[in-house]
């Protein structure tokens, strides 16, 4: 090394140190989002290019480049999240929303994330699934001191492997996650990857659960399993945007579960393969076709398929209680019970008393029953043929031949070709079942013969 090069090298080293100190003093301006609309994908303005994801009813956090680092600024803070039109919940989140913004980087990126704590208690951020130095893992008390209220900490690591990740507190975790603190993280591959296909549409959302008593606005954080609000990205049907794609697109849907139970996510009209988990891409020999995938607590799954069937296809959790709005679960089953006389008597004492469900609960879908302020209807969502009788973890995959590449706008309801909708058969009406239907009442008259495996007979 000659003298000139030596001094040039030394000058560069000094400059880098100086920039680093300056950057610590001057944090990136935090970006806040107040809208619950699905933001347009954030096409990277610098750094290595990639095909950005679409965060359902969410957004991607902008960054700045600083001396080779991608710098982000997360602000942990109380937020008000509108979970569906007119239904607002006091949550904790990041940068104005729950969930926090999606962080998107490229494999190999050096990442610096400032975290400012505006909560009333301490917090940390755990980068779920990442390979990183142990001290950057975000476990309060174990790998770092907690971030006190009012303070800013910085995390630095290299995004070493591509895939689907999330972030959440590892401090007073039960409370902070029950309040909505979570966010998505996607690391795109830096070049063509043998197990990561290019896709035309790439969606992501987190599964959430909240316990918000009808008429109130703050989640009950001590609830363990009996939640009453089941959400995609802290939104509930009909407040969840639809996934709008062009026929023939290869579609990837990334889902992470930070609730207290598992969710079998089910897609109508198509089969998908799980191409990746939070542990990385799935080897091709380990993929199989399915139409539901169970996403267990703390897991992430990437579903991929070719959207080759036009229509409005349901995409939902298959636990039937998770596609309902707020309801009590101790309600007795009244199917087949004639309780009208009793109800009249109770109404004299309790004027608001409602009779529910002697023929099932479908009536609730269209019923305009009085509900407390700031409460979602239990089963709702008008479709072109009536009420969808859904709530919670439910939305639609809309596949259209004329959806333009890159266009994520809702194309409206599907126009079914003539003769392709299930229809009534004229003249074949039968009377509905009643509570005195003979089929429910004949067991006492039946003389059953039971043949035991041994061959002995009992009457």
- Is the bond into 238 cis (omega within 30 degrees of 0)? yes
Q: What is the DSSP letter of 320?
A: G
CB of 250 to Cu ion, least distance (A): 26
CB-CB contact of 400 with 410 (8 Å): no
Q: What are the backbone dihedrals phi and psi of residue 88, each rounded to the nearest 5 degrees, phi first?
A: -115, 140
Structure tokens at 355: 């009779």
From 322, 376, 397, 400, residue interacting with Cu ion (rule: CB under 5 A): 322
- Percent helix, strand and coil across the chain, each rounded to 5? 15, 35, 55
Structure tokens at 408: 């994520």
CB of 396 to Cu ion, least distance (A): 17
Structure tokens at 342: 């009793």
CB-CB contact of 255 with 303 (8 Å): yes
- The stretch near Cu ion (CB under 5 A) out of 18-26, 141-149, 315-323, 376-384 is 315-323
CB of 379 to Cu ion, least distance (A): 16
Q: In a 3-state reduction of DSSP, which class is residue 7?
A: helix
Report the C-alpha gap between 295 and 293 in whole angstroms: 6
Longest dimension (CA), the chain: 107
CB of 318 to Cu ion, least distance (A): 7
**Residue 268 vs 319, nearer CB to Cu ion:** 319
- The stretch near Cu ion (CB under 5 A) out of 84-92, 283-291, 294-302, 319-327 is 319-327
**Residue 183 vs 392, nearer CB to Cu ion:** 392
**Residue 188 vs 316, nearer CB to Cu ion:** 316
CB of 218 to Cu ion, least distance (A): 23
**Residue 204 vs 307, nearer CB to Cu ion:** 204
CB-CB contact of 187 with 44 (8 Å): no
- The stretch near Cu ion (CB under 5 A) out of 11-19, 27-35, 322-330, 438-446 is 322-330
CB of 393 to Cu ion, least distance (A): 5
If you count them, how many residues does the chain have? 459
CB of 362 to Cu ion, least distance (A): 21
Regarding 319 and contact with Cu ion (CB under 5 A), the answer is yes
**Residue 192 vs 225, nearer CB to Cu ion:** 225
How many amino acids of this chain bind Cu ion (CB under 5 A)?
4
Q: What is the DSSP letter of 76?
A: E
**Residue 314 vs 374, nearer CB to Cu ion:** 314
- The stretch near Cu ion (CB under 5 A) out of 7-15, 56-64, 191-199, 261-269 is 261-269
CB-CB contact of 30 with 64 (8 Å): no
Q: Sort strands 103-106 and 183-188 into parallel, antiparallel or unpaired.
A: parallel
- The stretch near Cu ion (CB under 5 A) out of 95-103, 183-191, 248-256, 260-268 is 260-268
- The stretch near Cu ion (CB under 5 A) out of 21-29, 91-99, 262-270, 296-304 is 262-270
Q: In a 3-state reduction of DSSP, which class is residue 407?
A: coil
**Residue 170 vs 263, nearer CB to Cu ion:** 263
Report the C-alpha gap between 207 and 190 in whole angstroms: 28
Site string for Cu ion, 218-247 (x = CB under 5 A): ------------------------------
Regarding 316 and contact with Cu ion (CB under 5 A), the answer is no
Regarding 317 and contact with Cu ion (CB under 5 A), the answer is yes
From 188, 201, 263, 398, residue interacting with Cu ion (rule: CB under 5 A): 263
CB of 247 to Cu ion, least distance (A): 28
Report the C-alpha gap between 200 and 306 in whole angstroms: 10
**Residue 93 vs 392, nearer CB to Cu ion:** 392
**Residue 51 vs 262, nearer CB to Cu ion:** 262
Return the number of other C-beta atoms located less than 10 Å from residue 453's C-beta. Answer: 5
- The stretch near Cu ion (CB under 5 A) out of 25-33, 65-73, 169-177, 312-320 is 312-320
CB of 263 to Cu ion, least distance (A): 3
CB of 207 to Cu ion, least distance (A): 7
**Residue 112 vs 263, nearer CB to Cu ion:** 263
Report the C-alpha gap between 110 and 72 in whole angstroms: 11
Any bridge partners for residue 203, and if so which? 54, 253
Give the residue from 149, 67, 152 showing the smallest Cα distance to 113: 152
- The alpha carbon of residue 141 and the mean position of all alpha carbons in its chain are separated, in whole angstroms, by 29
Structure tokens at 120: 């009333």
CB of 257 to Cu ion, least distance (A): 9
Which helix (DSSP H) or strand (DSSP E) does residue 103 occupy? strand 103-106
- The alpha carbon of residue 385 and the mean position of all alpha carbons in its chain are separated, in whole angstroms, by 27
- The stretch near Cu ion (CB under 5 A) out of 184-192, 258-266, 366-374, 396-404 is 258-266
**Residue 113 vs 265, nearer CB to Cu ion:** 265
CB-CB contact of 73 with 29 (8 Å): yes
CB of 52 to Cu ion, least distance (A): 27
Q: Which of residues 430-449 bind Cu ion (CB under 5 A)?
A: none
Please report, as ranges, the residues that interact with Cu ion according to CB under 5 A. Answer: 263, 317, 319, 322
């Amino acid at each position: 090394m000659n003298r000139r090069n030596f001094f040039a090298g030394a000058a560069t080293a000094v400059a880098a140190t100086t920039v680093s100190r300056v950057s610590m003093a001057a944090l990136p301006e935090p970006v806040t989002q107040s809208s619950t609309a699905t933001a347009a994908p954030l096409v990277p303005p610098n750094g290595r290019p990639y095909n950005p994801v679409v965060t359902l009813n969410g957004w991607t956090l902008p960054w700045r480049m600083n001396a080779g680092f991608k710098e982000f600024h997360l602000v942990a803070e109380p937020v008000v999240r509108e979970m569906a039109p007119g239904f607002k919940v006091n949550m904790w989140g990041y940068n104005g929303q729950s969930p926090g913004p999606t962080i998107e980087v490229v494999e190999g990126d050096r990442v610096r994330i400032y975290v400012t704590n505006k909560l009333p208690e301490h917090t940390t951020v755990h980068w779920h699934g990442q390979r990183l130095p142990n001290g950057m893992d975000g476990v309060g008390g174990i790998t770092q001191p907690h971030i006190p209220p009012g303070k800013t900490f910085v995390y630095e690591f290299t995004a070493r492997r591509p895939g689907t990740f999330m972030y959440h507190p590892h401090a007073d975790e039960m409370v902070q996650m029950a309040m909505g603190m979570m966010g998505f993280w996607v690391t795109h591959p830096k070049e063509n990857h043998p197990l990561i296909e290019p896709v035309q549409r790439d969606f992501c959302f987190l599964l959430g659960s909240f316990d918000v008593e009808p008429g109130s606005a703050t989640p009950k954080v001590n609830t363990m399993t009996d939640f009453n609000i089941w959400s995609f990205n802290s939104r509930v049907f009909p407040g969840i945007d639809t996934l709008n794609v062009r026929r023939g697109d290869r579609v990837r849907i990334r889902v992470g579960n930070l609730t207290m139970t598992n969710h079998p996510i089910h897609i109508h009209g198509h089969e998908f393969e799980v191409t990746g988990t939070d542990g990385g891409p799935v080897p091709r020999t380990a993929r199989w076709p399915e139409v539901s995938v169970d996403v267990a607590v703390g897991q992430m799954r990437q579903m991929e398929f070719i959207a080759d069937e036009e229509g409005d296809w349901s995409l939902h959790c298959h636990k039937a209680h998770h596609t309902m709005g707020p309801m009590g679960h101790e309600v007795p089953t009244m199917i087949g019970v004639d309780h009208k006389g009793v109800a009249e008597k109770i109404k004299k004492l309790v004027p608001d008393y409602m009779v529910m469900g002697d023929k099932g609960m479908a009536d609730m879908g269209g019923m305009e029953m009085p509900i407390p302020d700031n409460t979602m209807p239990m089963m709702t969502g008008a479709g072109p043929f009536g009420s969808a009788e859904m709530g919670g973890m439910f939305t639609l995959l809309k596949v259209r031949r004329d959806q333009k590449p890159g266009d994520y706008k809702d194309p409206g309801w599907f126009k079914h070709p003539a003769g392709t909708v299930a229809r009534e058969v004229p003249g074949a009406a039968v009377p509905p079942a009643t509570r005195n239907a003979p089929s429910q009442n004949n067991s006492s008259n039946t003389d059953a013969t039971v043949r035991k495996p041994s061959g002995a007979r009992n009457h």
